[in-house]
Amino acid sequence: MMIIDDLFSSPEGDIPLGSEDLARPFLVAPSEPHPFLTLGDYFKAIERFVLKDEGNCLINALRASAIGEDGLDRIDSIRIRSEKHGTLYHVASVEILGDGISIKLAVSTAISEEGKACVSNEYHILEFLYRSFSLSYLPKVYEKGDVMICPDAHQAHETLTLMLSEWFEGYHEWHLSMDKADNRQKVCIWDLEKGYRYATEEEAFEIFKQASKILTFYYDPHSFKQIHPWRHAAGDFIVKAGDEGVQVRLTTARDYRSIMDFFSEDAVHPMIAMVYFFLNLTVRMRLDRLNGVGETVWAGDFTVQAATEGFFESLHIMEEKGMLAFGEIQKLLSLLQSLAEDELERLFKPLLAFYQEDSPDELHVIHAHLKGHVSSLCQTLQRFR
């Protein structure tokens, strides 16, 4: 008989949920209980979703993970673990255990109409990006569907939209934080297994470098489409750091589009589009919320070098794959190195207008640091080879 456990994830380990816990109202936001759904209804919806159609949803995921189609018969237990509650949807991990089976999957659940549209959109974008690029930096998606919950025949019902996807095992969220020991800003890795810890300077550099590299890999130099929006504050990038070094992954792609339409209605030269992709990358890499939830903060100058290295390393790989014409990278670097500080600063002005519309809550931080950022970027480019 298959055993199904409902759990909360915490830094201290899994918290088992009893009948009293599951009877509590389900929170659609930190202080907003659902009118009638309970926490138990949320877990039941996930269970029904992964086991629907005689387990076909799980079978597809097991097949994609090379476990095989007969994997369902070998499952002894399923652990559904509430991991994260966002503004648009909630994320749970589903751990499958059995004879020769140990796999963890992710389930995103949306209740609001905006959240449902977001989950559906992300499902199709992730599917498209995997087909188009065949890269492993984004999670694979396996299934999307709806589950109707009717707690009582005489009450209203609720339809939830759920998405089953790959779970990056051993990866953790991270955010900029102030280390009280020396009052310095550092990257704090939210390791729920071994405890929160501050990344070394080398690890922090590598996190920003790889994040920049990943975003550049998914940039289309012909259509100018890119993964946008993304935010460190939302925990979009996760990290695994250990004996094998630093590995970074991107948890989702909310949209995939060109931002050049904002700057010009006319045709844009590919070199100019790539310049603006790079400039935007160097700014957005520096923005986070303190400890993930606090005030908007600006990362140190080392991120400029990290972003530049990641960007150009990715371009060289794209050139090797024939995605970029030979010689284009040197042209781009020569163009960037030819710019004086005041010329580089002027190039950022259209981006400031873009940030006013795209992320107005962060604009005051960008304004406050832009001059220093331009100076650091200019120096980094002059030294770059």
Instruction: Spell out the long-range contacts of 3-6 with Cβ–Cβ below 8 A and sequence spacing 24 or more.
Output: 3/76, 3/77, 3/78, 4/47, 4/77, 4/78, 4/79, 4/80, 5/77, 5/78, 5/79, 5/80, 6/40, 6/43, 6/80
What H or E segment, with its residue span, contains residue 84? strand 75-85
- Which amino acid is present at 191? D
**Using one digit for the tens of pLDDT, what is the confidence trace for 146-187?**
999 987 765 778 999 999 999 999 999 999 999 999 999 999
Q: Work out the burial of residue 88: count CB atoms within 10 Å of its CB; fewer than 13 is exposed, 13-18 middle, 19 or more buried.
A: middle
Contacts with 136 (C-beta within 8 Å, 6 or more apart), sequence order: none
CB contact at 8 A, 377 and 282: yes
3-state secondary structure of 242: strand
**Using one digit for the tens of pLDDT, what is the confidence trace for 285-341?**
999 999 999 999 999 999 999 999 999 999 999 999 999 999 999 999 999 999 999
Does the pLDDT at position 61 exceed 90?
A: no
25/348 Cα distance (integer angstroms)? 48
Mean pLDDT of all residues in the chain?
93
Does the pLDDT at position 64 exceed 80?
A: no
What H or E segment, with its residue span, contains residue 316? helix 302-320
Unique residue bearing structure tokens 């990641």: 310
312/50 Cα distance (integer angstroms)? 41
The structural domains of the chain, with segments of one domain joined by +, span 3-166, 172-383
**Using one digit for the tens of pLDDT, what is the confidence trace for 180-227?**
999 999 999 999 888 899 999 999 999 999 999 999 999 999 999 999
**Using one digit for the tens of pLDDT, what is the confidence trace for 88-130?**
899 999 999 988 788 899 999 999 999 999 999 999 999 999 9
